[in-house]
Structure 1
């Protein structure tokens, strides 16, 4: 506002300003208060939804951990409910990965692929869920005889998953009879593991087996 020489001028200016802007100011204050209360209500709604999703997820885990014959059916129902009612939460993504695991156990690889692709569509960035879902999807695609798609998924990995991704690439190459490529992938996995970390016995066995075969092939060719 302008500077005025006398209090009277300031009062008149305030009256004039209020006449011109007072109504919009009140509306702005009302909106601000409304937004404040709305934000609090939204936060409470989100908190309640998160608690409900967490409780439902715990129920699903408890059911799937039992040996009951109906556990798989009930577990699938709870997982599907999580996906439908809480699709924007990590619980829904975990539920989808459980559904994929159950589908693999039942030999329903296409259903597993769908669940894992759904998980990836909901996961953000290169977080742990995305990395694990990509790894599992790659193995499912390889089992569906889609090795090229599987290998494409395994190109990018966070440092924590580089060894697991390299082992998966090696397994896919080995299933195709590409022993040299498989050996190189397994060696890459070994190289990316942290110093002092235990080396999986299966990885050691594969390296020894392929190393011996490749050396034998070189000797035969010479």
Structure 2
């Protein structure tokens, strides 16, 4: 996956990809199944259902940020749980829930992506965001558990930084220092990381 400056840019890129190529991927999968086992294993009804999910997804996310959009996105997710679009829509729903201060709902949406998404980058991104929500809810042990399941190296710096945040809140300042230092090694151009590391001495009362 390309490198992006922010997680929102990652989500936008995934949304763009599905909007531009989603139907082609579905058609390609159908053709592949047809070549191997015959069209009888992939009915016209199933194909129409996938195409409908693509259209419904676009209609739902186009309302993002507007009044009532949260309900529309939630309805889409519930109606299309088995589609790849549902995971992307769940990320959007989680962000809306965070903006509204509903962290329980945000955690629920993000857990859905972590559990069911087939795309590994999407799963890791959701886990990173879930960790932040868990920290906000003071579920620190759960946050560490979530981070421990992220193995995608593209997110290694963020994992280390978030571990530092958790350890700092747990007053485990030596562990926090090691985590922040590890994050800086992977992302040396992050001034916020250096600030967190510098502030540890103050937090520890040193």
**Cα contact 2:135–2:143 (8 A) shared by 1:** yes
**CA distance in structure 2 between the aligned counterparts of 1:61 and 1:143, rounded to whole angstroms:** 26
Alpha-carbon deviations, 1:23-78, whole Å to 9, x = none? Answer: xxxxxxxxxxxx73423x52x4444333322322222332115xxxxx142x2232
The alpha carbon displacement at 1:214 in A equals 8.6
Give the TM-score, by structure 1 length.
Answer: 0.66
Pairing 1:3-14 to 2, within 5 Å after superposition: none
Counterpart in the other structure of 1:204: 194
Match of 1:151 among 144, 160, 181: 144
Q: CA RMSD in A?
A: 2.5
Alpha-carbon deviations, 1:175-217, whole Å to 9, x = none? Answer: 2333322221111112234xxxx6222112222333x549983
Give the TM-score, by structure 2 length.
Answer: 0.71
Say which SS state the counterpart of residue 62 (structure 2) adopts.
helix
Q: Does 1:105 align with 2:85?
A: no
Match of 1:120 among 89, 93, 114: 114
**CA distance in structure 2 between the aligned counterparts of 1:138 and 1:216, rounded to whole angstroms:** 27
Which structure 1 residue ranges, 5 or more long, are not aligned? 1-34, 66-70, 218-222
Counterpart in the other structure of 1:20: none
Match of 1:173 among 130, 153, 167: 167
> Cα 1:83–1:61, aligned 2, differ >3 Å: closer, same or farther?
closer
Counterpart in the other structure of 2:186: 192
Counterpart in the other structure of 1:95: 89
Which structure 2 residue ranges, 5 or more long, are not aligned? 1-36
**CA distance in structure 1 between the aligned counterparts of 2:67 and 2:182, rounded to whole angstroms:** 38
Say which SS state the counterpart of residue 92 (structure 1) adopts.
helix
Counterpart in the other structure of 2:40: 38
